[in-house]
A and B are shown apart, each in its own frame.
Chain A
Amino acid sequence: MKSITAKPANPVVTRLVHADAQAQQSSNEDITSEDCAKEIKQGMIRFMAWHISELGGSETKPDKRNETEIEAIAEIIHQMKINICLLGGVAISAPDKLVVTTLDDGSVFYRYEPTDKESGWQEANNILNVLKQKNPGAHWKISVLRDDDGHLVGANNQCSCFLYQSAQGIRLKSISLIKAESSPELKLSHYHYYAKFSVPNTESDYSFDVPIASPLVEHMDSNDYLQAQITADVELDENCIFAISCPSEININKAAFNRYRSKLKITYEALPPQGSVLVEPIWQHIHANTSGLVDNPLLLNATDVMLQDRLANWGAMPALMHPDFYASVSGGIFDSILLRQSAQSHIQLANTRIVDLVRACCSEENSANQAAYGVVDDVSDIEFVETGVLVSIVAKAEVNQSNVIKSERDNDIAMQYSRSMRFARSISIHWPVITDICLMQQIDE
């Protein structure tokens, strides 16, 4: 996906970034002394941050996803060879249930009852179970932050949990809530989940600390509760990975994003050309952000078509734009993995990118035929290993759907892309971000 609002890169910035990459490669030694220290690469683990929107239910999603969607999520994590995965957007409780009561006199009462069950946590455990089946040797584990009463800690009825492979010796040392910088413009709060992993060095007894922070979405009602959950003695490490998922588009408010990165001393990195969320049409965006707009003109008077027509204000609406080609589909950057780094850091990030869920749902032959369909790839140097990994699951999901009408256009590439996009949306609106975490150790010779 292309980013619609990506500004052209400043050539001076690009030059300085390249020069700094060269500087980082050069040894970190005092030039007046002989080679006394050498930095060697010790290992690499792959990290994924995935805000699975509405996992565990919402007004528009059921609290229990169907098996194919859970399997698809697990398959992506499995196929991308992820060692640690941060699952965001996990619902703390399922949405209120509508209860209908009919009295003896025939009158009917409707009421909403709150639900206590941890629907999102149960769904995350379902993903864990599928992962365990797919790779029993990996010894997948899951962890989440709970308060003293055993309740899940989060804001806006959402929390995050960590999945990780323990077979390679990866261990979750601690998970806590800390207070760091916020970004009101990006709706990122002061409060951050903070997980510290221990990753063993394959060649010695030494193990690396890999801290991962993830800011919660700003939600004023939860502030007092979250303040009480802060672990006082835990502070942000000098070298730490940040996984962020914003409710608004990052590249629309780049200045705010840069301020946030600068305050947290996050290493500069140009925004990627790919988006992590398909951009919604302009009128959906205006409606979601403007109070007082009539959602559905039919509500004014279902029988008065003329009235609906007058009040719908058609004149202001631009003509509908449907992209003809996959390359024309616009994506916005909502999610990112960043690195807070000191001058002497043992952590480096490489190959950070979005996992393309539409490609994952398309067969490899179709991907090869993309040129015929008009796909001009702007990130062509990336090897999309996810291509086709969900094809069998998409087919299984369609067999289960009785309302899918078969037509002779089924083999049309446009039709297959459309189906892929629909399935990708059903899994999650946000697409996952992955990165390779390179761990280095400075050893004396």
Chain B
Amino acid sequence: MKNLFKNIFLAASLSLVLSACGDDSGSNAEDNGSGKDSKAANYALSFKVDNAQYFGVGKFTDNQKKLVENFDEGPSTGSVAYFDGAVYTLMVSEDFSSTTLSRYELDKDGQMPEKATATYKITSGPSLMFIFVDKNKMYIEEPYGDKLTALNPKTLKKLGEVKFTPDEGAQLAAPSSAVIRDGKVYVSLAQMVDIEQGVGSPYGTVAIVDIATDKVEKVIKEDKTAYLGIYDDMNNTMAFVDENGDIYFYAMAMFGMLGDDYKEGYVRIKKGETEFDKDYVLRLNDCAYKGKRVEFGGLMTGGAYAGDGKYVALFGTFEDPSNMNNYEWQPILIDLKKKKITNLDLGPTLSWLAPSIHLDSDGTVVFGHNDGKKSAIYRYDAKADKLEKEMDVSSGDAYYIVPLQD
């Protein structure tokens, strides 16, 4: 369980919350209102301070310091989501032995209640990822239990579970990044050969689960990349469905630390198909970055798909794996179509802010940034290539910025 959790923070990459929230029509980035309108929206916000996070709801126009003073406290290992009028949290106990899922139904003013309206205890260890299907069903990933647990989103009563079987030589078949398409969950399985070190298989595995029956219909494999996604992909960012209905999974290959057998890159499952596209792999290391090819070890961590092949993320070289606190994670825009990476007009930040990157309802991307001197929330419009600061952050760092819209 050791290094594994580093990946939680470092691999929150690629994907779209919407894609895992029952939206099986691909990106709706172009269907939403303007960025200006979205400023009036409420957000579920979480700010990370050392080993804690403080979560609640607010607006970017609020005084952040005052806002946090009225937020609830939780452990830093935890995730925040919104679905159907409620804020959901998954908070992992300090010793990583259990996780509590909580549902906070918002009142008519959009405010969170003092206490959770429903809770569900997960004893299999850390569980950080939600998969919302519809008003009657959601899944929670239990990576250390090799399963998805199906729940009623409102009552949090257990409906069933989906078990996965580790491959030979693997200790876990841990569900990780996931998307929903055509009534099925496509969930990558991290076949962990060394749980303690967080080392998975040198190949990728995706399970296709029928939502109606909670049965595993098929498990597909590919060998162009290492294990896909990352379990406890807090923001579900390493898989997404694009406008065409194609599914993409990303393999981060543990930042190049595992040798040449472990390859990074995107693989694809095309619309209407249930097998990997044998002709497709996109390696970020082959993308143009600052006018030259990225050396191996260039990594992506955290991000949101903004439509039209544009992906907003953090990118770093992770030169010193012993130091997770280096300001070496550069906010970037990846153009998957042009195979090109460009820096946003900000300096490098910390990996811890990766979960903050979210697609807003207007198609822009909001994210937190900390340059070592100041911390803030920014909005980036990929279409207009426009970056603007939304909120100064003085207490902690922006950890989750979740629009309160399905």
Chains A and B belong together in one complex: no
